[in-house]
Amino acid sequence: YTILSKVHSDRNVYPSAGVLFVHVLEREYFKGEFPPYPKPGEISNDPITFNTNLMGYPDRPGWLRYIQRTPYSDGVLYGSPTLENVGKPTIIEITAYNRRTFETARHNLIINIMSAEDFPLPYQAEFFIRNMNVEEMLASEVLGDFLGAVKNVWQPERLNAINITSALDRGGRVPLPINDMKEGVYVMVGADVPFSSCLREVENPQNQLRCSQEMEPLITCDKKFRTQFHIDWCKISLVDNTKQVSTFQEVIRGEGILPDGGEYKPPSDTLKSRDYYSDFLITLAVPSAVALVLFLILAYIMCCRREGVEKRNMQTPDIQLVHHSAIQKSTKELRDMSKNREIAWPLSTLPVFHPVTGEIVPPLHADAYDNTSMPLMQRQQ
């Protein structure tokens, strides 16, 4: 069902097209590539990370993915080869980095993709497992248990794991670090027999209604998975390739001669002269003329239509003008009188020392001076 192999120097592997391929990069193997530097009697547990890329390119092929959770866990290459890569050796460069000593080690993995006789399998089902991460599902024991449960429900003659995809690659969110929550994983399997009645129960109107209301559908075979795998039955996808209508249109090949359409006349190399006077009038002259007229009208209203002080006085009654003049005269006299006052400033407003020399300034009045008898309004002289 899956191809498992341990990393070796220039290792050749032979996966099949359309079948899940898994390659484990074990840290224990690469530990021998780096000399141990710990004290005698201590076990070296250096953090090691891996970088994988197609030889001559900065990234991996499109069908190949890589995952490593922490520098203290093994790396995993996984994916589903396609028919386009059959017969073409794919060389993957694997570079291991020792994060303690900053040393590197490089190995090559040669992937020779073979064609499968039963590919593609006509009936394919994709399950979404909520309580698994992708690296946990790629383990041979866990994947074998899941395929065994599917085989008991489906009862096919041939069953293959086609592909495994993390929910994060499908637009899922990173789970919260509480209660050991998992990100989820999509597992696609293929078989050679039609879907069983248990898998078809997802298409029932009652279950479709429950899924639309965010409720768990009623699946009779869910208990066969529930002990180890929590499957979201609302996200299951069933594909029957035998019922898909081919959209391929047959191409009618001719003699290779184009029909006679007359003599070809290329466009002229010289450009015709064009008069831009009308464009100038429309874009510049007309808006400028309108703006000038508006400016003249506004200037006439603001400058030539002013009434003036004389016209205002002519239209005002005489008694009102006399009152206004008297008020202005009284206000002027009060202001002149306030300028001639000679009242000492209050002691609270005087500084206690000179701001420049720092000497203490004596009060303006003697201590025996009774300022309480000072009238509020002084007589004008």
Q: What domains appear along the chain, each with residue ranges and CATH number?
A: 6-113 (2.60.40.10), 123-240 (no CATH)
**197-223 pLDDT, tens per residue?**
888 888 888 888 888 888 888 888 888
For residues 340-367, b (16+ Cβ closer than 10 Å) or e, as one string?
eeeeeeeeeeeeeeeeeeeeeeeeeeee
Tell me the whole-structure pTM to 2 decimals: 0.58
Ranges 2-11, 206-215, 257-266, most confident: 206-215
Look at residues 143, 110, 137, 151 and name the one whose alpha carbon lies nearest to residue 10. Answer: 110
Quick one: which of 80, 24, 87 has its CA closest to 52? 24
Whether omega before 122 lies within 30 degrees of 0, making that bond cis, reads no
Rg (CA), the chain: 47
CA nearest to 198, candidates 155, 163, 146: 155
d(CA 8, CA 23): 11
DSSP 197: H
7 pLDDT band, cuts 50/70/90, is very low
pLDDT at 181: 82
CA distance linking residue 332 with residue 115, whole number of Å: 111
Q: pLDDT band for position 295 (50/70/90)?
A: very high
Residue 172 Rama label (left phi>0; alpha psi -120 to 50; beta): beta
Split at pLDDT 50, 70, 90, the class of 225 is confident
C-beta separation of 184 from 171 below 8 A: no
Name beta bridge partners: 239.
124
* pLDDT > 80? residue 309: no
Q: Dihedral through CA 126, CA 52, CA 24, CA 89, nearest 10?
A: 80
Query: For 267, which DSSP code?
Result: P
* Alpha-carbon gap, residue 381 to 378, rounded angstroms: 9
Long-range contacts of 83-88 (CB under 8 A, 24+ apart): 83/17, 83/18, 83/115, 83/119, 85/17, 85/61, 85/113, 86/17, 86/113, 86/114, 86/115, 87/113, 87/115, 88/113
Instruction: Tell me how long the chain is.
Output: 381
Across 108-129, average pLDDT: 84
CA atoms of 141 and 358, how far apart (whole Å): 93
Residue 99 has pLDDT above 60, yes or no: yes
Share of the chain above pLDDT 70, in %: 78
Instruction: Kindly report the average pLDDT of the chain as a whole number.
Output: 79
